[in-house]
Structure 1
Amino acid sequence: MHARILRELPGFTGAKTYMIQTKHVRSLQLLSGSAPGRPLHLSAASGLVRIASNLYVIADDEHHLGIFSTSIDTPGRVMRVLPGTLPESKDERKAVKPDFEALAFLPASEHLPFGALLAVGSGSTVARKRAVILPVDAAGAVNDAPRVVDLAPLYDRLGAYIKELNIEGAALQGDRLTLLQRGNLNNPKSACVSLSLSDFHAMASGAISASDAIELRIIEYALGDIRGVPLCFSDAVALPNGDLAFCAVAENTGDSYNDGTCVGAAVGIIKADGSLYSVLPLAHPHKVEGIEASVQGSLVHILLVTDADDPEQPALLLSADIDGYPFSQAASRILSS
């Protein structure tokens, strides 16, 4: 099967614990809804990528991508990425939505001269085993028709190793694409699944099959808990030195389909070698599901987007800082609380 399954649980070092304070930047208001009668905001923001002056946000309950300015606080707009109309009823919509839970940037390649956005479905139902590639132009604007990728062969293979698949994040680390599996109360371990970017492109084009030709690397993580609810990955982004900055939430649910109360959240660092460096709780229990980051000196400036699990509540854009880059000293740790 050509899979490297790494079952070690990389540990923390150090014992210092402190809270990360977030700042409210804006709510994700829209000029117009994704369909007649839809709210004038994104509510279930689940992935975030910044390119130049644009913030791209994928929502898990839409067929659209949200586009917001980084320089002016004006309502954003939406761009369709899949055809069709989703039901208005929350339960009916949940049953058939593509559940795009991750958004990453693919670097320039032979068929993507300026790179592309990659929206990834969670894999938690048959309808959620898709990805969409959105090519961008030299200015970072989406400029071509979406390309739908069938992830069922890859996700079905992962099902042999991961119980109750629920991919919630994606990031590019060098020449590898890392997907982040989110756990829950009954399956509290999270995991990073990585494959080479060249294999992903070959799989997406149909040149190879995910069933037998792709080497997978899987590392499981235990991120700690808040009030007995395990923290589990909700997104990640690569830093310039190859480390991952991630966000995680403690959501009181026992499966990958039903929502639960979010009792806490955290951000943290995974080193480029896969070791878990730090998990730092947020002072407020926002359900953060998308992360973007930039580095200035020793500070990692992060942006986060939220999902309140309520279509009437607009998603929030938050900011925070993590000090200590490039994270070579003793780490910080979250303790059970």
Structure 2
Amino acid sequence: MLIYVDEVRALRFDDGSPVTAASGIAPLGAGWLVAQDDATVAAWLHEDSVTPVRVLPPVAGLDRFTEAAGTKRLKPDLEVACPAEVDGEPAVLLLGSGSTDRRMRGALVRLVDGQPQVQVTGLGPLYAHVAARLGLPMDQLNLEGASRHGDLVRWFNRGNLAAGVSSASVDVPLQELVPVVLGRTDAASVSVGSPRVYDLGEVDGVGLAVTDAVTLPDGRVLLSAAAEDSPNAVDDGPVVATALALVDGEEVLAVAPIPEVDGHVHKVEGLALREVRDGHVHLLAVVDDDDPDTPSAAIDLRVELPRSFPR
């Protein structure tokens, strides 16, 4: 599997302020909705514009949270952006990481008369159910990515090999999850499938762990992964390398490094599929550099799949 970086662009809102900590991306209307894991607002990329979309109310009067300011513990940590539907209309499902009690909320963003409309609810019982299915204590839960598989969302726990936690996923039915986020049913009613576990290897002694996922037309999945030297599910650490992995079920078919750009390792945390054409998968990726002063990057990635796995 070969990976090419075709273009890298810094993301800024129309007022010039940076989009930071981009952690998930999914189509919204004719554009893309980007989740920021350090903020209560998302970024909507559309018509050569980048506009804020309020997803959650301010926390302690703040909309952005940093470790330097001592406010990181307050952040909602929205890590997942996944395509969904509300009453037959396209929507984006945003989900928190679950790594603390504050990070267990879900939001649905859809367009009404061309403008984003958001509904939010707490999902604590669902996160507890997911942790139980994965066999993890709550303080090891760190749900960072998701891929859409028909009527299912495959929800990925990042894992941390240094802490003995492998990357893994569970399937959750959309027809059960969407009504919960809309406030129509209870979070405890959502069923959670059996776990899948992924062995992605390591780089320089640091384990690769899943940061996001996207489903290919043939049903296989491309995972983004980062080798981040972090002691737990909350603290950041140095990122040694990033990669994409092609998986079929639990089987890892191929792993390849994402090329560095100007000597810099970009920690890809969000993946969206643009198209599959001429034997190449075209992806739009977004980057969280764990730096509140650096605009997140949008990267056009092109993936040439191994010829031994043509499907």
- The whole-number CA distance in structure 2 between the counterparts of 1:304 and 1:233 is 14
Secondary structure of the equivalent of 2:256? strand
TM-score, normalized by length of structure 2?
0.87
Within-5 A mapping of 1:1-337: 20-32=3-15, 40-51=17-28, 53-69=30-46, 72=48, 76-84=50-58, 85-86=61-62, 90-91=66-67, 92-107=70-85, 109=86, 111=87, 113-136=88-111, 141-144=114-117, 146-160=118-132, 161-163=135-137, 164-184=140-160, 185-205=162-182, 209-211=186-188, 214-271=191-248, 273-284=249-260, 285-293=265-273, 294-324=275-305, 329-330=308-309
CA shift for structure 1 position 55:
2.0
Which sections of structure 2, spanning at least 5 residues, go unmatched? Answer: none
How far does the alpha carbon of each residue in 1:226-264 deviate from its partner, in whole angstroms, 9 at most, with x for none?
101000000111222222222110111010110000100
- The whole-number CA distance in structure 2 between the counterparts of 1:306 and 1:193 is 24
AA of the residue aligned to 2:298: L
1 or 2 for the larger relative contact order (CA 8 Å, sep ≥6)? Answer: 1
**What RMSD in Å do the two structures reach over aligned CA positions?**
2.4
Secondary structure of the equivalent of 1:76? strand
Higher-strand-fraction structure: 2
Percent identity, please: 30
AA of the residue aligned to 2:15: S
Asked whether the 8 Å contact 1:68–1:77 carries over to 2, the reply is yes
CA shift for structure 1 position 52:
5.5
- The whole-number CA distance in structure 2 between the counterparts of 1:259 and 1:56 is 24
Secondary structure of the equivalent of 1:295? strand
How far does the alpha carbon of each residue in 1:30-69 deviate from its partner, in whole angstroms, 9 at most, with x for none?
1237xxxxxx111100001134641211100111110123
- The whole-number CA distance in structure 1 between the counterparts of 2:93 and 2:157 is 17
Distance 1:199 1:328, change over 3 A: farther
CA shift for structure 1 position 205:
4.9
- The whole-number CA distance in structure 1 between the counterparts of 2:272 and 2:119 is 23
- The whole-number CA distance in structure 2 between the counterparts of 1:191 and 1:262 is 20
How far does the alpha carbon of each residue in 1:92-115 deviate from its partner, in whole angstroms, 9 at most, with x for none?
3311111001101103x5x2x312
AA of the residue aligned to 1:77: T
